[in-house]
Structure formats: structure tokens, C-alpha cells
Structure 1
Amino acid sequence: MTIPDPWPAPRALSPVDLTVSLPGSKSLTNRALILAALADAPSVVRRALRSRDTVLMAAALTALGAAVDTSGSDWRVTPGPWRADAEVDCGLAGTVMRFVPPVAALADGPVAFDGDPHMRNRPVGVMLDALRGLGVRMDDTDRLPFTLHGTGSVRGGRVVIDASASSQFVSALLLAGARYEEGVDVVHDGPPVPSLPHIDMTVAMLRQHGVQVDASVPDRWTVAPGPVKAVDHLIEPDLSNAGPFLGLAAATGGRITVRDWPAETTQAGAALRDILSSMGCEVSLCEEGLTVTGPDRLVGVDLDLHDVGELAPVVAALCALADGPSHLRGIAHIRGHETDRLAALATELGALGADVTEHEDGLSFRPAPLHGGLFHTYSDHRMAHAAVVLGAVVDQVEVENVTTTGKTFPDFPGTWSGLFTGAEG
């Protein structure tokens, strides 16, 4: 299928009533791949998400010496001796840029990292400084591209970092820490760490692999040195990618069920249940999945999204449609995501008529009529998610570079278009 650019967002002519299945979680898949490559025997990542980010992770680990068979829906990972003189392409994947260097430090020789042009603007210096403090030698830089010069082992030990820009700095060190001679003791010193559920996810998965992790002290995580046991993982649906689908129910006053929604999960997307409920939706979880039924009119909200910033773009789109004022706060850190999401959302929503004010750490909305126009995505999949939700209820919204959604959702445009019976573009 050829996808035009810009892409006319399908318009819902009536409230939707649908059941959807989602691809697997990127966050779980990439953590599972890292731990499988560090493990003491082969293992399988079942129902792995096949997207640009996860394929880049598999390629990075393969470049370092692991064997990752991605030919089927279940990916088999065989740890191998770490290779030097490797090159790692990070693309636009923050998990590759931040999770792989602590693993590559175990190689005996140089490993070079680079990525898409925009990735050279994303912060990684905190983690590179942390690795230097743990005994790893690398180029004197705080941005891509950089080269890490491994010696075959890492001393490890205690390191103090400011992880207020990204929880990935903590997760990156924890994932590899058990393979360091002294383990790793990560102390956060700074403003609150965003997206804490992602660190909880990392800790839970480490423990599944038999790694001893002490997270009993706030802002401190200690991983004991030792083996990483091989464990097969079954990947849950990506709950953050449920945002635009559940947002579609909210925006149209319709009903959508997302199949196989887990009763318990460490994914940040689980917060969608409470967020949508606060906006007036009916939300219920049963054996089939999670069902959201939208209201006649969306309610404005005041939300602190600090721990779930990745949900902000879709929530912002719904706030622009709400019947009352809204304020989203605690999300200054999303300025360092695939793009400056706060500035991008303010610009693009405002261009469609939204009464939106950008703040240092969030966005405020007042009700205003919206109109069609071109919505730029800035090569950011979450921006595209916001655009298609608006396009479902606003005439003639066009989405620039909608294919950027392939970062975490294969053929999102085809899946989304297929939801609209009798839709108009």
C-alpha cells in the first residue's frame, strides 16, 4: 500500500463500536532482548513486537555477538561472546541509544554508536558520564556519535546521576549491572525521576531473571553481581499504543475494546484507564479486554502526567476537544523525547484552532472550535497518534509523515484506516 504524504486522516461519520488487537510492547520487547543477550543460556521472546525500534535493538545485539533470530513471531536469542569493532545504529530509538552502551562496555575493544540526525540532539551524557564513573573508557562527548572502548569487563559499583531527564538512564545501568564485577548501585540526585513505571518494569524483569535488586530506598537501586538466568518472556500488548484507539472511543462517543489487556502490568499505558475515566468515559475490564465508552461531551481535566509522559500527546488531543478547560503538567521531560513534544503539540494543536498555552512543564487548554489543516509530526510517532484522533472528529486533517508510527506500530496507517467503515478521508 502506498501511503500519501500528507495523509488524509480518516473521519468517523458516527460513534465507533470496535474490538482491536494491538502489537506487543516495545518497552517489554527491548528489555527482554537485552536480558536474553546477557543471560546464561538461550531463551525466547514470544510475540515480540516487530517494529523499527525493536529491529534496531536486535541488530545492535547481533552486532555485539548475540544471535537473535527474528524470522518468526517468537524471537530466539542465543548469547554469544561479545565482539569488538562493532557499529550500532540507534535510529530514533532511545532504548537502543541508552540501553546498549552499558552492555557494549563488556566487549573487549571499540564499539561505535550513531543514529538518525535528530538523535544527535537527544540527551545521553548522563549515562555516558555514569559509565565513565564505573570504569568505562569512551570518547569525550555527551552526544551521538560516540565510541566506547571496552576492556572485556566493567568494574561497576556506586554511581550518582541526575535522571530527571529520563528514567532510561536508570534502567540502562540496572539492566547490565549484574554482569559488572561489583554490580551497580545507582543513586539519583536531582528533581523527581519521570516515568517511574518504566523503572519498576525493569526491576520486575530483572527479578524474573534471578537478579537480586534492592529498590527499597527511594531514588536508589542496587543490583548485585551474578548470573542472569535465561527466561522466556511472553510480551504483553503495548498499552501506550492503545492511546489513539481508546482516544477514538472517547472522541467519538463510541466504544472500543482492546483485547488481552492485562489485569496487572508495569506498563505506563495502564494509566489510560484512570485518565479516560476522569474525562467522562466509562471504563471496564473483563476477560476479553479493556472497554472504553466515550461520553457525549469530554470533561476537562487537571492531570500530572509526570510518570506517564508518553501518553501526553493523545491526552492533549482529547483536551483540545473537551468541553471545559484542561491543564497537563509535570511533563517538562518530554521536551527531550523524539521531538520537543510540548512545543510541537502547542504549535500543531494551535494551528488547528485549539486555544492552547505552552508552559515550562505542561500545556493548558480552553475550549475552542477546531478546523482542518496540516498536522506536522516531527518524525514522532506519538505526535501522529494525536493527529489521527483529532482527524477522526475534525474535517480535513492531514498528517505529515504518518509512517513515523512504524517506530512502535507496524502498518499503523493501514490498521487505523481499517477501523472506519464508510469513513471519508
Structure 2
Amino acid sequence: MTPSGDLGWTAPSASGPLAATVALPGSKSLTNRVLVLAALSVTPTLVTAPLRARDTTLMCGALRSLGVRIDDEGADWRVHPGRFSAGPVDCGLAGTVMRFVPPLAGFADGDSCFDGDPHARTRPMRTLLDGLRQAGLSISDDGTGGLPFTVHGNGSIGGGRVELDASASSQFVSALLLAGARFDKGLEIHHVGASLPSLPHIEMSLACLAEAGVEVDASQPNRWVVVPGAIDLPDTVIEPDLSNAAPFLAAALVCGGSVTVPHWPATTTQPGDLLRELFTHLGAEVRLAPDGLTVTGPGLAGLRPLVADLHEASELTPVIAAICALAPGRSRLSGVAHIRGHETDRLAALRTELAAAGSDVSETEDGLVIGPAPLHPAVFRAYADHRMAQAGAVLGLAVPGVVVDDIASTTKTLADFPGLWQSLLAQRETPAG
């Protein structure tokens, strides 16, 4: 067991090249999209191999609070749709809950109050709330444009044309897309901002809608037309969470040797699939085969600096930044200004914590510049952010004495990150001879 003290969890350091296999649970992004569509569906849906972690249990709790019946069937969930009822919704710190669930509350008769963790009240919401008002939903937020707010449901939502600037989060678009077919007139969404982050997550929402028989015209840039009609989601198997694979595969780059994640899909809408390209640029050999994805890393001596626009997969930024802090040469990560509004201001947090460990790091308008520098032990603060905690674990592989202050934050998307991490590092290459 890795020791933990008053300051937190001491990240274990590498003790040799790896020869590891790590089976990861289901995708959080897919699980929560499927749960929402199952709640809106006309028939029950069996959700197989879902992620069971804080964000997804919060989603189940939110749906149950609105009258949706969700039964446990072993490790799976069976969702029984029905008439929505008003109720209080605890969003925790889950962006998908605070953004995907409010439209469903509009289908209930009565008031549903949404609130969450203290930091959830600072997360961007005004764009979505204004968009829902354009669609005909009545919402009270005391002018804050965020949590807490109350949805005044009357059983239906008119729909029609909605204009919004989703530059801060693609979840604003996905939230409207997922429920749009149930609006009386359907929905015509226009993104009017300069950029749209995490476009693969919108593609993921569109793919889920297609599985549920929903017709969406996405032929024009920044415009989506959802045809009104029934949602009928078939039984669904959830893919492994590819973004959660980032720290485990990163261990191969830092330690050397190889790490395999089984059941990596041959095709996917998950942004985490970009790890294959990113890790190749960082110096790894990446192989996708029927048995999964295998990353064979060069170890610290063979790491390469990285220049990359992470706009499409911004949730990978913390782990990628930790690797770059260990690499020779100067790395530049860009396209991620919007992650200032994630679980924490991730750019400021990464700059602060990497610098505390000795890294030569500076914050730019939309990213980070990281240069080589001697690193030393430090307390790596997670800011209640699971991706920050994962970055601290990766840094600790090469810097003995890194202590992550809140490793429990990883329960947001992984039930036992420390246990999986220990298991990973115990699977080492057998010395020759």
C-alpha cells in the first residue's frame, strides 16, 4: 500500500519498465449520455458495462429525483422511462448533470431546484440557461447565470430556433441535442461563437442520437436541426473510458516497457482516442490490435517535447502537461482556454502545481509552455479535480516524494484509482537472464 500522510497520497515512483495490462471501466461521457437518452426513450433500456463512479451515480440520482426508475442488474443498469416528476437535483461537480438534466426537468409539472458542490456554482451555465429560455423553458437563477437555479416545468418545451455561444463548453450544444427531439417543434441550434471546443463530444452525442432513431441534420457548420419525434434507445454496451486511460498509458512513456488497455474500440467518437497520435509524438510506439491498445514507451531518456493543439481533447491536458514537464526540450500546448471553466481553472492550476515541483512553466492565452527543468518533491494540489490528481500521479513516477493532496477526487470517474495504479506498477518487465 502506498503510504498516505496528513498531506495526502504519496505517489509511487517507477521501479523499472512495465509489462502491464489495465482493464478500465466504461466511459463517463457515454454512460451519462446513454442514461439521459434512456430516460427519454419510449421503451426500457439495458445499459451494459456502465461506469460506476461519482459522476454517473450523480446522473442516476438526478434522473431518479425526476421520477425515472433505474434498476441495478448486477453491474448493469436498466432504465425504465415514464412520466417525469419535479424534484431536487444534486449536480455535485458533474458538468454533464448540471447541463444535460435541466431540459428533462422541463418535461415535469412543477419546480425542480438544481444545486451542487461549492465549486459547481462557479462553472459556466448562463449560455445553456439562456438557450433553454429561448426554447420556451422558464428558469429562475436570481441573475447569476449558474447554480443554484430552478426549472419551472409545465410538462412540455416548445423548442424552435436557439442561438448560443458554446465557446466555453460543447456540453451546451449536447444538452440541447439530447432532449431536442422531445421538444414540441424540435430544435434548430446555431452556435454563434468564434470557436467550439471538444467537437468529438458533440459527435458522440450525435452518434448516440442516431442509435436512438433521432434524426439530426448536421450538414451545415455550427448548425444542428433536431427533428421532433420519439426517442427509442436500444440496449447499449458502454465502451471503456479512453480519457481515463491517459495516466495509465502515460506510465509506459515515463517508466519504459508497455501498457495495454483491452477492448480499445477500432472506431470511436471518444476524444481520448487522440492519445494514440499524441503519445506517438511524445516518443512512444502505439499499436492497436484486436486485444486492445498497447503503448510501448521510451522511458524518460527517450521522451520528446510536444507541440499540440488540444482543442478537440482538452480533458487530456493535465496528464499531457505532466509528461511534458518530464521531457527534454520545450513543449507548447494550445487551444484549451476553455478549461479555465472546468472542475477548476486547469491552466492556472497546472501552472501553479508544476511550478511548485520546479517546472519551467508559463501560462499563455490558450494553453501552457513547458520547458525542461530539474524537478523536486512537492505537494501537488488537485483542487478537487480528478484530472489534476491523475497528473500528479504521473509526475510522481519520475519525481520521488510527490504528494497528491486529494487523490479521492479521482472517484469522480474511477472508483479506485489508487488501487488500479498500484496494480499497474506491480506489473513489471521480467529482467533478462
For 1:348-363, what aligned pairs fall within 5 Å after superposition?
348-363=353-368
Distance 1:324 1:72 in 2: 49
1:132-179 CA deviation, whole Å, 9 max, x = no partner?
A: 111111104301001010110000011000000000000000000000
Letter in 2 for 1:282: E
**Contact 2:112 2:153 (8 Å CA) reproduced:** yes
Distance 1:120 1:108 in 2: 25
1:378 match: secondary structure: coil
1:70 match: secondary structure: strand
1:56-84 CA deviation, whole Å, 9 max, x = no partner?
A: 00011111111011352110000021112
**Contact 1:66 1:79 (8 Å CA) reproduced:** yes
Distance 2:291 2:376 in 1: 36
Q: Measured at CA, do residues 422 and 137 of structure 1 come closer, stay the same or move farther in structure 2, by a change above 3 Å?
A: closer
Letter in 2 for 1:18: A
Distance 1:273 1:179 in 2: 37
2:88 match: secondary structure: strand
Of 397, 400, 404, the match for 1:399? 404
Q: For this pair of structures, how many residues does the alignment match?
A: 422
Q: Match for residue 61 of structure 1?
A: 63
Whether 1:387 aligns to 2:392 is yes
**Contact 1:13 1:422 (8 Å CA) reproduced:** no
Q: Match for residue 408 of structure 1?
A: 413
Letter in 2 for 1:320: A
For 1:22-421, what aligned pairs fall within 5 Å after superposition?
22-70=24-72, 72-84=74-86, 86-140=87-141, 141=143, 142-295=145-298, 296-421=301-426
Bigger shift: 22-31 or 134-143? Answer: 134-143
The CA deviation at 1:90 is 0.1
Distance 1:78 1:3 in 2: 42
1:16-42 CA deviation, whole Å, 9 max, x = no partner?
A: 110110010000000000000000011
Distance 1:230 1:198 in 2: 19
Distance 2:12 2:72 in 1: 33
1:420 match: secondary structure: helix
Distance 2:116 2:426 in 1: 39
1:306-333 CA deviation, whole Å, 9 max, x = no partner?
A: 1110000000001101111100001000
Distance 1:3 1:310 in 2: 27
1:419 match: secondary structure: helix
Of 15, 18, 33, the match for 1:16? 18
Letter in 1 for 2:98: M
Bigger shift: 140-149 or 258-267? Answer: 140-149
The CA deviation at 1:419 is 2.1
Letter in 2 for 1:134: A
Bigger shift: 289-298 or 206-215? Answer: 289-298
Letter in 1 for 2:378: G
2:317 match: secondary structure: helix
Distance 2:186 2:358 in 1: 53
1:357-405 CA deviation, whole Å, 9 max, x = no partner?
A: 1112100011111111100000000001100011111111111110100
The CA deviation at 1:207 is 0.6
The CA deviation at 1:230 is 3.1
- Structure 1, unpaired ranges of 5+: none
Distance 2:47 2:339 in 1: 29
- Structure 2, unpaired ranges of 5+: 429-433
1:289-346 CA deviation, whole Å, 9 max, x = no partner?
A: 1010112421111100011100000000011011111000010000000000000000
Distance 1:422 1:184 in 2: 51
**Contact 1:16 1:252 (8 Å CA) reproduced:** yes
Runs (4 or more) in structure 1 with deviation over 3 Å come to 1-5
2:355 match: secondary structure: helix
Letter in 2 for 1:201: M
The CA deviation at 1:254 is 2.1
**Contact 2:211 2:233 (8 Å CA) reproduced:** no
Letter in 1 for 2:36: I
Distance 2:41 2:417 in 1: 33
**Contact 2:361 2:370 (8 Å CA) reproduced:** yes
Question: Normalising to structure 2: TM-score of the pair?
Answer: 0.96
The CA deviation at 1:422 is 9.5
Q: Match for residue 431 of structure 2?
A: none
The CA deviation at 1:421 is 2.9
Question: Normalising to structure 1: TM-score of the pair?
Answer: 0.97
The CA deviation at 1:108 is 1.2
